[in-house]
């Protein structure tokens, strides 16, 4: 009853305080007059996560400056120390030895100079020669004009890097110098060192609120920066590029490479967080370091919301870093609330979590990136349950018992090759937009070969659930695999954002099993299809399937029997976070 009571208290207090629905928060949008509402403490509310990173209270957004230094992982992040909505932004700081358990430290960077007095916004860390870290970050002045600033650690012998000192030369990059829009000039990337000995860094920008671009700056000493004549890359009709990222990926194997690596053995990834769409898009291509130009391998990049995405659900403002200790590139991303209402976040006292860090690499065909939760997260697994290969009959639902379903890690593989010819036809003239298809053909819509997958955070009577599933179509002379995350029935009482997510999975069901992994953590579900070729993050708020009342099911709502090739599930222990 305690969980229900908290929910109804939130709803009641919201109705008393009046309406206040707001659009999805961008990284730097301010909300006015919300300081008039007193924030109640709901720190122990059931929607708090157990092993996803979040501060004890208040607002959090973009991950900033992730790095490893003297064997210690560092995560900085955008944080409001005073409230559960965006504002008063500082660089909060936590460290870890395993990317799972985190220790909190005092904020590393706080407003103090004219060029950051109205907020220390997003940026990146670069490891300079000799192993010295440097942070480039965006600051906002009294008029909310944006500048790029530098901070360095005060004591290099301290592996925790507790104290940071700002450069007396700040700001290092100013929009006034280049006649740029001062309200669209932010989020510097990790810098890379060219063969000519000059550092290069990208800054997100837009021109006339239409053309998004990655501005390029060069420097000999990391202090004095000169804007290049041309951006590294730009594209019409994409709006503001927030939190750009640019890094090399090996064309062979899963190992990552340092950000300054060049040569025939790598391709390059350019990623932008599109403010207009609130999604992270990326493309793979080649970088001409002599001309400082990037050329995508595909024409479909960022245009009108199409193209490749890190995550097809709720995931934004991501940042990668090269983990030199394990020769891997690690991706971190922000997952915001789906309440759509700042008043509720204020009453609850906190907002925002970080996704589980992911290892990221180029797939064997060089077409896309693959992501997988870092291996360290498996240390939290306990009480494994499994199931041998078995038939999952048409129209059936089978409970996966023996795990704590509100806090679990599940891996399941399906075999369909012998019945794949019975798949539905992806009709010409019909929608081929995967998200639209998932909305039209949700978990409750019977098909031929699908939907089949998992019902997570489900109530015992299956009236409440989040469905993560596959559906297979005939598409000309090949088959198309659609992966969906349907959260339309994730809560029977709360009317929050319940968008259904979808993407096509680049896999041949005739030759490969369909695999799915779900990390379930109270109010967040991170799903990885096809070994990490498609990722979807859902933020859900069940009202029945909470804590011990949550259940986990495998289901097949198609007309054809399929096979569960393998199934393993674990309860997940609570991580030590801040």
Q: Would you call 62 a catalytic residue per the annotation?
A: yes
Report whether 264 contacts 257 (CB < 8 A): no
On whether the CB atoms of residues 537 and 335 are closer than 8 A, the answer is: yes
534 and 422 inside one domain:
yes
Q: Which of 338, 372, 406 is the last residue of a domain?
A: 372
By the 8 A CB rule, do 215 and 231 touch? yes
363 in the same domain as 393: no
User: Whole-angstrom Cα distance, residue 374 to residue 330?
Assistant: 8
b/e for 79-115, b at 16 or more Cβ within 10 A? bbeebbbbbbbbbbbbbbeebbbbeebebbbbbebeb
Asked if 209 and 116 sit in the same domain, the reply is yes
Last residue of a domain, one of 342, 372, 402: 372
Same domain assignment for residues 367 and 424: no
Residue 377 lies in a domain: no
498 burial via Cβ count (<10 Å: 0-12, 13-18, 19+): middle
Q: Decide which of 325, 340, 372 is a domain's last residue.
A: 372
Q: 578 lies in a domain?
A: no
Please tell me whether residue 92 adopts helix, strand or coil conformation: strand
Q: Which two tokens mark 502?
A: 């979808």
In 3D, which of 459, 460, 461, 465 has the Cα closest to residue 451? Answer: 465
C-alpha distance from residue 498 to each of 222, 402, 462, 501 (Å): 45, 28, 17, 9
Task: Say if residue 413 is in the same domain as residue 367.
Answer: no
Say yes or no: 395 and 362 in one domain: no
CATH number for position 499: 2.60.120.560
How does DSSP classify residue 160? Answer: T
Task: Note whether residue 347 is domain-resident.
Answer: yes
- Domain annotation covers residue 577: no
What domain count does the chain have? 2
**Per the domain annotation, does 134 fall within a domain?**
yes
Of 62, 116, 187, 280, which one is the catalytic site residue? 62
CA gap 462, 265 in Å, rounded: 50
Q: Which of 445, 494, 441, 485 is nearest to 466 (CA)?
A: 485
**Which tokens is 145 given?**
């004009």
Cβ contact 236:299 at 8 Å? no
CATH of the domain at 70: 2.115.10.20
For 340, the domain range is 7-49+58-372
568 and 469 co-located in one domain? yes
Give the helix ranges, DSSP H, for 128-265: none
Residues 143, 246 within the same domain: yes
Q: Look-up: residue for tokens 């990391």?
A: 222
Task: Verify that 316 and 342 share a domain, yes or no.
Answer: yes
| 363 and 455 inside one domain | no
Going residue by residue through the chain, which has 578 residues, state the pLDDT in tens, using 9 for 90 and above.
333 333 333 333 333 333 333 333 345 544 443 333 333 333 335 699 999 999 999 999 999 999 999 999 999 999 999 999 999 999 999 999 999 999 999 999 999 999 999 999 999 999 999 999 999 999 999 999 999 999 999 999 999 999 999 999 999 999 988 889 999 999 999 999 999 999 999 999 999 888 999 999 999 999 999 999 999 999 998 999 999 999 999 999 999 999 999 999 999 999 999 999 999 999 999 999 999 999 999 866 665 557 899 999 999 999 999 999 999 999 999 999 998 888 889 988 999 999 999 999 999 999 999 999 999 999 999 999 998 899 999 999 999 999 999 999 999 999 998 888 889 998 766 678 999 999 999 999 999 999 999 999 999 999 999 999 999 999 888 999 999 999 999 999 888 999 999 999 999 999 988 999 999 999 999 999 999 999 999 999 999 999 999 999 999 999 999 999 999 999 999 999 99
Domain-located, residue 550: yes
Q: Is residue 420 domain-resident?
A: yes
Statement to judge: residues 208 and 322 lie in one domain: yes
Please indicate, yes or no, whether residues 66 and 109 belong to a single structural domain of this protein: yes
**Any domain includes 160:** yes
pTM: 0.93
Strands, E assignment, 422-487: 424-425, 452-458, 466-475, 478-486
């Amino acid at each position: 009853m305690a969980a229900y009571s908290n929910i109804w208290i939130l709803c009641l207090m919201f109705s008393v305080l009046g309406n206040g629905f707001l659009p999805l928060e961008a990284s730097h949008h301010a909300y006015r007059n919300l300081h008039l509402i007193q924030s109640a403490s709901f720190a122990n509310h059931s929607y708090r996560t157990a092993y996803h990173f979040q501060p004890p209270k208040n607002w959090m957004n973009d991950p900033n400056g992730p790095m490893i230094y003297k064997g210690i992982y560092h995560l900085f992040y955008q944080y409001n120390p005073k409230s559960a909505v965006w504002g008063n932004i500082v660089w909060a700081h936590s460290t870890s030895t395993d990317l799972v358990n985190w220790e909190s430290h005092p904020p590393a960077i706080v407003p103090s100079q004219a060029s950051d007095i109205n907020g220390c916004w997003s940026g990146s860390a670069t490891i300079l020669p000799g192993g010295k870290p440097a942070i480039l970050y965006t600051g906002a002045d009294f008029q909310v004009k944006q500048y790029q600033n530098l901070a360095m650690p005060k004591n290099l012998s301290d592996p925790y890097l507790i104290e940071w000192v700002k450069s007396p030369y700040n700001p290092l990059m100013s929009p006034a110098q280049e006649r740029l829009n001062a309200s669209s000039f932010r989020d510097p990337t990790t810098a890379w060192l060219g063969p000519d000995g000059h550092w290069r860094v990208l800054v997100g920008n837009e021109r006339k609120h239409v053309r998004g671009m990655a501005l390029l700056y060069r420097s000999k000493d990391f202090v004095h920066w000169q804007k290049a004549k041309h951006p590294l890359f730009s594209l019409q009709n994409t709006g503001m590029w927030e939190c750009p990222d640019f890094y090399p990926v090996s064309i062979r194997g899963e190992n990552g490479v340092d950000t300054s690596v060049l040569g025939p053995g790598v391709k390059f990834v350019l990623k932008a967080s599109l403010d207009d769409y609130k999604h992270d898009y990326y493309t793979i291509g080649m970088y001409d370091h002599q001309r400082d130009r990037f050329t995508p391998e595909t024409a479909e990049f960022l245009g009108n919301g199409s193209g490749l995405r890190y995550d097809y659900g709720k995931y934004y403002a991501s940042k990668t870093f090269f983990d030199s200790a394990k020769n891997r590139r690690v991706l971190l991303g922000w997952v915001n609330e789906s309440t759509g209402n700042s008043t509720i976040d204020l009453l609850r006292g906190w907002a925002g979590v970080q996704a589980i860090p992911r290892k990221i690499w180029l797939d064997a065909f060089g077409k896309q990136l693959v992501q997988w939760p870092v291996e360290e997260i498996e240390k939290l697994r306990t009480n494994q349950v499994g199931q041998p290969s078995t038939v999952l009959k048409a129209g059936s639902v089978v409970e996966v018992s023996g795990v704590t379903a509100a806090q679990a890690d599940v891996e399941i593989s399906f075999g369909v090759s012998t019945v794949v010819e019975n798949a539905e036809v992806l009709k010409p003239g019909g929608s081929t937009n995967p998200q639209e298809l998932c909305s039209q053909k949700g978990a409750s819509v019977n098909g031929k070969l699908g939907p089949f997958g998992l019902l997570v955070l489900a109530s015992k009577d299956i009236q409440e659930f989040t469905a993560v599933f596959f559906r297979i179509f005939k598409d000309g002379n090949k088959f198309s695999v659609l992966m969906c995350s349907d959260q339309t029935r994730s809560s029977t009482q709360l009317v929050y954002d319940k968008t259904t997510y979808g993407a096509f999975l680049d896999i041949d069901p005739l030759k490969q099993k369909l695999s799915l992994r779900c990390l379930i953590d109270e109010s967040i579900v991170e799903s990885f299809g096809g070994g990490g070729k498609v990722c979807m993050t859902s933020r859900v708020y069940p009202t029945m399937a909470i804590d011990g009342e949550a259940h986990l099911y495998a289901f097949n709502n198609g007309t054809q029997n399929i096979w569960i090739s393998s199934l393993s599930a674990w309860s997940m222990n609570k991580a030590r976070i801040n």
